[in-house]
Amino acid sequence: METDESLLIFPCDFPIKAMGKAEDDFDALILEIVRKFSPDIQEGAIKSRISKEGRYVSVTVTIKAQSQEQLDNIYMELTEEKRVLMAL
């Protein structure tokens, strides 16, 4: 098992959240990015939530994280995507 300063023990279930404008394909975009680094996403691992006003959406994808490097790569690609306003 691998550990790092964040005290995560890999592999572990890890939720990745991205927020952006509510557009029909935003959840598919997030899933496509995350799947590049975690191709074995399980059914039911993605959840979407629309803001009260309906202008924004948050998408959470829970993956089986294998390393800090994997998580860093996912977050780097998410933050480089212009449609992603925030990634947590």
Dist. CA 66–CA 34, nearest whole Å: 13
Asked if the bond preceding 11 is cis, omega within 30° of 0, the reply is yes
Contacts of 22 (CB under 8 A, 6+ apart): 50, 51, 54, 55, 56, 57
Task: Give the pLDDT confidence of 29-62 residue by residue, as tens digits.
Answer: 999 999 999 999 988 899 999 999 999 999 999 9
CA atoms within 13 A on the CB side of 5: 0
Given pLDDT bands bounded at 50, 70 and 90, which one contains residue 1?
low
CATH number at residue 61: 3.30.70.260
- Using DSSP, state whether 43 is helix, strand or coil: coil
Task: Give the pLDDT confidence of 11-35 residue by residue, as tens digits.
Answer: 999 999 999 999 989 999 999 999 9
Q: What global pTM score does this model have? A: 0.88
Domain residues for the domain of 83 are 2-87
